[in-house]
Amino acid sequence: MLKTIYQLSFEHNGHGGLRDQIVNVVEKTANTIVRFQAYIPENRHSANILGAVRQGTGVIINAQGYILTAGYLVMEAENIQVAFSDDRIVEAEVVGIDYESGLGLIRLLEAGDIQPIVLGNSSRVTPGQLTITIGDSTEAQARIVTNGRITDVAPFIGYWEYLLDRALYVIPQNPAFGGSPLFNLEGEVIGIVSLQLNQQQGMNLAIPIELLYDIESELIRFGRVMSRRPRTWTGMYHAPYQKGIIVVDVMPESPAEEAGIEKGDLITHIAGNRVKTEEQLLRQLWEIPVNTEFQVTLIRKNLQYTLTICGVDVYEFYNIGGSNDLPGH
């Protein structure tokens, strides 16, 4: 049986009577939270970056055994072992991944008698709202519970061509696996923890649960969202820079590498359009249809170059969903 470690901070929330409420949420959700280990073939693209063995937390969202987690944890996984709080092990498979939101769905191959989590409404979440994060940790050999608050609701840009228009920033940080649920005090899931940010201050980034509602049925049916136009992806890892956007690395075998883009390049134009911020870079890329050639203007060692690149559908590169070849795409 997995032990539970409480890392509570009542002073942080300015509320001394929270413990009973927190314990109630922990007990009520004990059988709805799971931990898992995902195994990815070493020849897959994501294995070199994220590892061939990944551990995470997830939450059961329905009686059919579907589990919601952070998508990167199960990207390209061929085998998944799910462990319940009573240490029961059940095999699972990847159902679908939404690269745009960062959410992923897996399914228990033998659901049995399970208890789904209660999903809440994250669209009304505001800074200052009190929260509870519950996640499993192999390092601690325990389920870790932290209480905190939403410190900000704001955009988040990831260096891997990722943009959330509305992300939840939570303090203090819960050190458990990605995929951990973020609860309100009523025990409803309002987000899925994706990343640990700002090691000095200690902060979690959570994906709002509202992003699941419009895509859940398509993830289950197709493995990805088919009704949405696919975004052009290049494989550049980017960061802000005073005169534009700097390339901090390039994904091997990606369109960026094939086009000759290198680490240290300063991107100034996409398809002839000036880009000064990461958001401008991404939105310009996403205006270009997949499998279409376009030009990237960059500065390398004080010299300007213009390279031709053909962006692709990231789902095909990583083999993480169905082919988006519906009419109109």
Each residue of 112-143: pLDDT tens digit? 889 999 999 999 999 999 999 999 987 778 99
pLDDT score of 185: 94
pLDDT score of 14: 52
pLDDT score of 325: 43
pLDDT score of 88: 92
Q: Where in the chain is the domain with CATH 2.40.10.120?
A: 1-228
Q: Could you read off the pLDDT of 41-55 as tens digits, one per residue?
A: 999 999 999 999 999
Assign 158 a pLDDT band (cuts: 50, 70, 90).
very high
Closest residue by Cα to residue 313 from 297, 296, 289 = 289
- Name the phi and psi angles at 227, rounded to 5: -80, -10
Percent composition of the chain: helix, strand, coil (DSSP 3-state, to 5) = 15, 45, 40
pLDDT, averaged across the chain = 92
- Percent of the chain whose predicted confidence (pLDDT) is above 70: 94
Kindly tell me if the per-residue pLDDT of 243 is higher than 80.
no
Kindly tell me if the per-residue pLDDT of 102 is higher than 90.
yes
- 48 vs 324, residue with greater confidence: 48
Fold of 1-228: Thrombin, subunit H (2.40.10)
Weakest-pLDDT range from 25-34, 193-202, 227-236, 315-324: 315-324
Q: How far apart are CA 270 and CA 283, in angstroms?
A: 10
- 89 close to 111: Cβ distance less than 8 angstroms: no
Q: Is the pTM of this model over 0.95?
A: no
Written as six digits, the tokens of 136 are 């499993």
Count of alpha carbons within 13 angstroms of residue 239, beta-carbon side = 8
Q: Where in the chain is the domain with CATH 2.30.42.10?
A: 232-318
Fold of 232-318: Pdz3 Domain (2.30.42)
